[in-house]
Structure 1
Amino acid sequence: MNWTQIADVATMSGGILYLMPILLLIALTVSIERFLFLNRMVRLGNEAALAVEDLPNLQGRALAEIAEKSAFPFRAILERPVRFPHIKDSGRLSEILQEAVMRQVPVLDKRLWILDTIVTLAPLLGLLGTIIGMFHAFQVLNNAAQNPTLITGSVAEALLATAAGLIIAIVGLVAFNGLHNRMRYVVHQMETLRTMLINRLEGLDHSHALIHSEAQPLIYAAAEA
């Protein structure tokens, strides 16, 4: 099939086939960009978790230094205990960290709606192109007696629009599900980081309580002496 035949088929579909390469290009561009972005987020999340894992508590400059070296979206979570050092209640800190997590999720989900729309739109446009092509196919019925293959060839060409739409939808659906699963993993990393910070606050409070309980007998002994 040469370019002239391709142009004729695209014209017979009402121009729908001209849109299919554009939709495919948009889907591939969004998929590649989001894949590279989310892969980078996974790597940064692992680095942040390993850095926080070595912290005994949330005191000192260690957490602030980790936050400065981290990047979006994990920096927003690590900065919360640094910005609110007076909070010693784990429940209150959990709410503040959860707020930070919720504010970052829409940015991770950015542009995935385009891919979701293409997955739904491409088959519908392909079907519309086929219907328009069928109108042209039925117009050749008067000449079918002289050329019986003319009608079948026109129907086959009309079905190309549906096939193109289905191919784009399949590619987009696989990419969308993979990216959505990757995004959920990044959110899981942020939730894990939130839990790690809360646990280190609990460890700090527990260490203070332990020191205080060990110091009580010494205070009583000194008072009795």
Structure 2
Amino acid sequence: MLRNIIDSSVQSCGLLPLMALIFLAALAIIIERMIFFSTSVRSGSNIEYDLKHVGRARGDDVKKLVHHYEGSVQNELMKAALELQGRPVEDFEREVEESIMFQMRKLDRNLWVLDTAITLGPLLGLLGTIIGMIGSFNILGSSGTGDPMAVSGGIAHALIATACGLTIALVGVVALNYLNKRVRMVLLQMDMIKSMLVTRLAA
């Protein structure tokens, strides 16, 4: 088994180990982001209900919500809004928007790496395929059809590279689409929080 892995790595000129590292990096980011969204982002199903029951100019009610959503990115936005209580509407909205942008950096952190892995995976797989096919044609040109196993072996290595690249892309695309959906959902929640709190806490 180890011998086959080493042979495949040599046949691909080191591309298979590189793709394995890219795949591991993509998996690490997927797992980290999944943990982040499960622990630091609350479901928004109750936020609208909670905010509608915050009385106008009732900072104490907002403080209860801050405690309820402790540890989430929504919590950070509510705390920022609470500190701005009594400010003019224009100043309040501007400061809250800045807080949303700051939280945005937390939401899409490292997603660019996953996006890059999705692009690089198939390209490296294609490159590995080309290298494998070139090796097969070289063998075919030097020994003719006298050693069909040598030719088919190169083609097999080429197909392995293609399969690895497509696997990276397939796993990455599904995960990235899901994570981007979560990011959009949280941004919509934050816009809703801003709109509802500006009428309750701004002067």
| Common fold by TM > 0.5 | yes
For residue 182 of structure 1, what is the aligned residue in structure 2? 182
What is the root-mean-square deviation in Å for CA atoms of aligned residues? 2.3
Change (3 A) 1:34 1:119: same
Contact conserved, 2:41 with 2:186, CA < 8 A, in 1? yes
Contact conserved, 2:19 with 2:165, CA < 8 A, in 1? yes
1:185-209 CA distances to partner (integer Å, 9 max, x unpaired)? 011111111111123348xx7xxxx
Contact conserved, 1:48 with 1:74, CA < 8 A, in 2? no
Contact conserved, 1:41 with 1:186, CA < 8 A, in 2? no
Q: Give the % identical residues.
A: 35
In terms of Rg, which structure is larger? 1
Contact conserved, 1:130 with 1:162, CA < 8 A, in 2? yes
CA apart distance, 1:113: 1.0
Rounded to whole Å, the distance in 1 between the matches of 2:57 and 2:77 is: 13
Do structure 1's residue 74 and structure 2's residue 79 form an aligned pair? Answer: no
Rounded to whole Å, the distance in 1 between the matches of 2:185 and 2:30 is: 17
Paired residue type of 2:97: Q
Contact conserved, 1:116 with 1:172, CA < 8 A, in 2? yes
For residue 102 of structure 1, what is the aligned residue in structure 2? 101
CA apart distance, 1:10: 1.9
Mapping of residues 31-110 of structure 1, within 5 Å: 31-43=30-42, 45-46=44-45, 49-69=48-68, 70-87=70-87, 89-110=88-109
Change (3 A) 1:60 1:168: closer
Do structure 1's residue 171 and structure 2's residue 166 form an aligned pair? Answer: no
For residue 137 of structure 2, what is the aligned residue in structure 1? 138
Contact conserved, 1:126 with 1:163, CA < 8 A, in 2? yes
For residue 27 of structure 1, what is the aligned residue in structure 2? 26
Comparing 31-40 and 69-78, the one that deviates more = 69-78
1:82-122 CA distances to partner (integer Å, 9 max, x unpaired)? 323332x4343222222211121111110111101100111
Rounded to whole Å, the distance in 1 between the matches of 2:194 and 2:151 is: 65
Structure 2, unmatched stretches of 5+, are none
Rounded to whole Å, the distance in 2 between the matches of 1:188 and 1:162 is: 39
Rounded to whole Å, the distance in 2 between the matches of 1:95 and 1:46 is: 26
Contact conserved, 2:41 with 2:72, CA < 8 A, in 1? no
Contact conserved, 1:67 with 1:78, CA < 8 A, in 2? yes
Rounded to whole Å, the distance in 2 between the matches of 1:145 and 1:60 is: 83
For residue 191 of structure 1, what is the aligned residue in structure 2? 191
Length-normalised TM-score, structure 2: 0.85
For residue 214 of structure 1, what is the aligned residue in structure 2? none
When the two structures are aligned, how many residues end up with a matched partner?
201
3-state SS of paired residue (2:158): helix
Moved over 4 A (4+): 44-50
